[in-house]
Structure 1
């Protein structure tokens, strides 16, 4: 069995985090290979979610006309839409398709996780109780939607880290008018019905220039509290 040099791996990971920054403008002449971008997407697909329900959908927008239409309502993404090699819309399921007895949840439990009937029933009851009591999601559709959005940020983070590991830049974005972006996506047939809403956006590519400032973060002691 091959021995892993843990210290070397740790150093490599920290270097990737130091390399990664919110890239504002990409080199439009450089494109990410299909192999590399499929690797990035795979790290998103393999990400964890609450109860394993995978509330996300990743829409890779390479169509120039659609990118242009998104520039208006996505005010924080204009330069990225113009220059990024790959642009991803991260959608989250809404309440009706994340409720415990919904078609999607039952598909995940029965067909994807392949749970036996008795375990499926137990999990359905547990999810139902969690949604109604523990997190009190069912009384407010927007709160329910945001529960899915919070999970969407897990694959987003994993994809950005994976990209940084192989020298690819990224930028996550919330700078958009949610209602107007969703209307564009409905008009273009990207969102069908009322199953999904947009959680965030992310651009991937290669930086046009180096960051002007070094990465700034609070000291570790300011953001971590140990209770022994």
Structure 2
């Protein structure tokens, strides 16, 4: 496949992707295909490489039903999706320079003690001076959620390129969903919050209209 063919294939996938409201419940994503989608999330970039998010893949019907009761935006997706993923974003306290997760990630990155010290200082300055969020728990938690959306976008784009549908979902009672997950023993609310969910599967129906977006000239400004 040449360069132009690759570009066209990617554009075709973006045209194919749409926010699927209802999936065909009889069609399940092959395990290797879903592992492939998960791998693109794992390989997604994050600020400082700290990966402030985890994923829950909710296949349990009872848990799905509980979540559906408090998720107005997932009424069609929760009962029909082949796979249903909940993103967990680390809370602000977890992402402080001296936090356990940040220290763990520096080990994952294989940094020397000297490099760790330099990165800790740079990261602290970023939080306190550049983005000015270091002393704001909510702002820090929201910053974690921003990183999750990078992985979310990559997962949906990847899925579309192999013919799998998806739908990102923010239409839910965040506190209620977190309480449900905590009750089922899969969430520690002192460590994680739920910023977004996403359903994967195969569309039950074709979209009623083609994709509508603003033109590039309206959204892009080149500063030469």
Q: TM-score range by the shorter chain?
A: over 0.9
Instruction: Specify the alignment match of 2:35 in structure 1.
Output: 38
Contact between 2:91 and 2:140, CA under 8 Å: does it hold in 1? Answer: yes
Query: How far apart are the structure 1 equivalents of 2:109 and 2:88?
Result: 22
How far apart are 1:133 and its partner, in Å? 1.6
Instruction: Specify the alignment match of 1:92 in structure 2.
Output: 89
Q: 4+ residue stretches of structure 1 with deviation over 6 A?
A: none
Partner deviation per Cα, 1:172-197 (whole Å, 9 max, x = no partner): 01001111111111111111251000
Query: How far apart are the structure 2 equivalents of 1:76 and 1:214?
Result: 21
- 5 Å-filtered alignment, 1:100-179, equals 100-109=97-106, 111-179=107-175
Residue in structure 2 matching 1:206, options 197, 202, 206:
202
Unaligned segments of structure 2, at least 5 residues = none
After TM superposition, the score normalised by the length of structure 1 is 0.97
Instruction: Specify the alignment match of 1:60 in structure 2.
Output: 57
How far apart are 1:87 and its partner, in Å? 0.2
Query: How far apart are the structure 1 equivalents of 2:8 and 2:189?
Result: 46
Number of aligned residues: 224
Unaligned segments of structure 1, at least 5 residues = none
After TM superposition, the score normalised by the length of structure 2 is 0.98
SS at match of 1:201: strand
Instruction: Specify the alignment match of 2:176 in structure 1.
Output: 180
CA RMSD of aligned residues (A): 0.8
